[in-house]
Structures are given as C-alpha cells and as structure tokens.
C-alpha cells in the first residue's frame, strides 16, 4: 500500500495465494465444467477437505490448491438449506464451527455419522446422550437443523476484510484480509499525488526511503569506492548533503523555491518533507507546486550526479534551473489542458514566484 510506504503493487506471493483461494471458492460454490471434472476425477466420493496434502493425484497446481485449504477454512461458511452440498464434519454450517476441529478425532464414531457425510444425512440421525458435553451440543445442532431444514439449496458464503460473510468472492477483499500489513508512513502524500510525473515520484520515493546509492551507502558495499560528492567534492556524499546542503543543489533549490517558501525556506531534507505534508496554511496550488518542484529537482539532480560519475560534462546550475523552470511550466500547461479548474491559475502563480 502506498500509505504504508510501498509502491501500491501487490506482492506476487499474495496474489498467487488469493488466486488459489478463488479456485477453492469455485470448487465449493459453482458447477462449471472444470469443477465437475475436479469432483469426478480428483475429489470423487469424498470431500475437498478430506484429501491429503501429500496426494500424488492431479497436477502441481492441484496440490498447490490443496495446501491453501487451511487458509480457506477461515473464509468459507455455509448458510445451510437442504444440507445436500455441505460437509457435516468439515464445513462451518453451525455456530459451533467446523465440527471435526471442535469435537476432535474419533467423534464421528461416537456420533455414528460418517466422515464423508453431508448435513442432509443427519436428518435420519437418532439422537443419543453422550458423556462428553461437546457431543451433546452437536446433537442439539442436529435437532435445530431438522426443525429448520427446507428444500432450498445451501448458500456458500465468503468472508470479506470487514469480517462479514457475502455470497460472492471478492479478490480485493480477500487480498486485504491476507496481506502483510505495515505501519502507515506520514510522507506518502508528498510522493503520490494528482498530476505527479511517475518517474519523478519513483526516484523521490527511493530517496525518501534512503535507498539511493549515495556515497555513504556505497562505502558499505565497497570500501574502495569513491564516496565523495561529484557536485562539490565534499569528502562524504550523503542523502542530506545531496538534497540540498551541497552548494550546487542548494543553488538550484533556492532559485526554484525561495519565492514560494519565503521565511520558511530551508535546505534540511527532513524539514522539507514535513512541510510538504503538514503545512496547514498552504493552498492546494502551493502544496502541489512545492511537491512537484521537489520531485523534479530530486530526479534532475540525481541524474546530473550520475552523469558526472560516468564522465559526462557538467551542467551549470544556471542551466539546470532553467530546465527545471521549463519543466514546471510544461506541467502546468498539461494540467490546464486536462481542464483541472483546481490548478487553473498555476502558470500565473509560478511566474509570480519566479519573478
């Protein structure tokens, strides 16, 4: 999730897990040609829940599906009608839960109900009295089913991320339930915002996470690496130095933002990021402009730094400022063409800050 500091992309491992859960849902709730084939040739007379994980029948994908059953148990539930399609022991059709897990091994012998029995089969069950209290509770659930059974088909249900059971499978909701969660970060709004340029956002995202290959990080990988700043020859290049304590980058940053920030102007990286998130007195136009200028500047300075490290000619700060100024103007032109009234005055605002 972007608000947790990520790129908003779903990990393939989690996507694959959701896909397996969806196939289990289809086996349990639909009657397609594929599902019918699975039931005839792989499940046969038993239940999906009774097949052993180490079975050698079926394909690799089938065995992968079987390994996902334990997770599926936490999502699947049946609103029982006639009980013909619901496993008595393995599926959750009553308030007690999955009876095999509740009552334990050997309980089917005490109850006199086969392990592969359907809920419908207990209509002919003769009530017994047991020494074990949990079995007496199961007997009560059977009596409730007998009183409320009808000819309507069982309704399969799937739990969403809010804990409510629905009649449809939702890929998004299931993924939200199983995904690995992280602490929310305060700076995501400064990276991902409307009308941002993707390549600028990605480089700034890498920078704000401290993952750019600056000199201090390269020193940890290779002790013989040149860790100095190629823009000003500072002995140690760090993220905070490059953005924007370096005289070269500070000159560019000051020319672009001092007219907007005024007495709030700073070259401190952490303070800049805080301002782009927590400045309540800024207008939406001012906030957008500062966020966009930051990303464009970070991307351009990082690119210039890499060019110089690869032996290319240096670009003077004055030229860099003109390029960034033109870039911001072009972005406002694009926004105006899209008809966004919120930033319609952006060009005149930018001209005003640049003098």
Q: Within 10 Å of residue 289's Cβ, how many Cβ atoms?
A: 23
Does the residue 311 lie in any domain?
Answer: yes
Q: Same domain for 60 and 98?
A: yes
pLDDT value of residue 301: 97
Please give the pLDDT value at position 256.
95
- Separation of alpha carbons 110 and 290, rounded Å: 73
Q: What is the pLDDT of residue 353?
A: 85
> Residue 142 in 3-state DSSP?
helix
Beta strands in the chain (DSSP E): 76-79, 155-159, 165-166
Residues 340 and 214 placed together within one structural domain of the fold: yes
179 within 8 A of 167, measured Cβ to Cβ: no
Beta bridge partners of 165: 159
The residues of the chain scoring below 70 in pLDDT are 355
Distance CA 220, CA 236 (A): 13
Whether 183 is covered by a domain: the verdict is no
* Alpha carbon distance 52, 225 (integer Å): 55
pLDDT of residue 348: 87
Do 334 and 232 share a structural domain?
yes
Q: Are residues 249 and 346 in the same domain?
A: yes
- Bridge partner list, 78: 156
- Same-domain check for residues 288 and 194: yes
Cα 244 from Cα 254, distance rounded (Å): 9
For residue range 93-132, list pLDDT tens digits in order.
999 999 999 998 888 888 999 998 999 998 888 888 888 8
User: What is the C-alpha separation between 215 and 306, in angstroms, rounded?
Assistant: 12
Range of the domain at 258: 188-354
Closest to 292 measured CA to CA, from 327, 258, 316: 327
Question: Among candidates 340, 151, 185, which has minimal Cα distance to 274?
Answer: 185
CA dihedral (86, 92, 98, 99) positive or negative: negative
CA distances from 220 to 139, 162, 208 (A): 67, 44, 19
Q: Are 205 and 190 in contact (CB under 8 A)?
A: no
Domain co-membership, 92 together with 130 = yes
pTM listed for this prediction: 0.82
Provide the 10 A C-beta neighbour count for residue 246.
24
134 with 36, same domain? yes
CA angle 206, 207, 211 (to 5 degrees): 65
Same domain, 347 and 230: yes
147 and 107 assigned to the same domain: yes
321 within a domain of the structure (yes/no): yes
Which H helix or E strand runs over 66?
A: helix 60-67
Tell me if 160 is assigned to some domain.
yes
Could you give the count of Cα atoms lying within 13 Å of 131 in the half-sphere of its Cβ?
A: 1
Quick one: pLDDT at residue 206?
97
Is the backbone peptide bond immediately before 255 cis, with ω within 30 degrees of 0? no
Residues 196 and 109 in one domain: no
Counting the structural domains of the chain, the total is: 2
pLDDT of residue 355: 65
Backbone φ, ψ for residue 226 (5° rounding): -75, 110
pLDDT of residue 107: 87
């Amino acid at each position: 999730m972007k608000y947790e500091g990520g790129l908003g992309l779903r990990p393939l491992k989690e996507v694959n897990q959701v896909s397996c859960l969806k196939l289990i849902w289809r086996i349990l709730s639909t009657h397609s040609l594929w599902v019918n084939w699975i039931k005839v040739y792989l499940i046969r007379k038993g239940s999906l829940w009774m097949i052993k994980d180490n079975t050698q029948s079926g394909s690799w994908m089938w065995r992968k599906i079987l390994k996902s059953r334990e997770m599926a148990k936490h999502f699947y539930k049946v609103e029982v009608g006639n009980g013909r399609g619901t496993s008595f022991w393995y599926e959750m059709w009553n308030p007690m839960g999955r009876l095999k897990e509740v009552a334990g091994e050997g309980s089917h012998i005490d109850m006199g109900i086969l392990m592969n029995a359907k809920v419908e089969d207990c209509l002919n069950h003769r009530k017994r009295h047991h020494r074990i209290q949990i079995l007496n509770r199961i007997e009560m659930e059977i009596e409730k089913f007998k009183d409320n059974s009808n000819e309507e088909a069982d309704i399969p249900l799937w739990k969403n991320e809010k804990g409510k059971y629905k009649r449809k499978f939702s890929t998004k909701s299931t993924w939200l339930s199983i995904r690995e969660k992280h602490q929310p970060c305060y700076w995501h709004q400064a990276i991902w915002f409307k009308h941002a340029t993707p390549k600028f956002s990605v480089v700034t995202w890498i920078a704000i996470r401290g993952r750019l290959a600056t000199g201090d990080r390269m020193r940890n990988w290779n002790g013989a690496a040149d860790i100095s700043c190629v823009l000003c020859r500072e002995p140690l290049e760090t993220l905070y130095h490059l953005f924007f304590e370096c005289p070269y980058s500070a000159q560019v940053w000051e020319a672009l933002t001092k007219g907007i920030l005024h007495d709030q102007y700073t070259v401190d990286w952490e303070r800049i990021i805080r301002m782009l998130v927590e400045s309540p007195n800024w207008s939406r136009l001012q906030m957008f402009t500062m966020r966009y200028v930051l990303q464009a500047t970070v991307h351009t300075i990082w690119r210039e730094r890499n060019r110089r490290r690869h032996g290319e000619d240096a670009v003077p700060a004055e030229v860099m400022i003109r390029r960034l100024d033109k870039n911001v103007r072009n972005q406002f032109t694009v926004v105006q063409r899209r008809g966004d009234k919120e930033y319609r005055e952006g060009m005149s605002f930018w001209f005003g800050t640049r003098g």
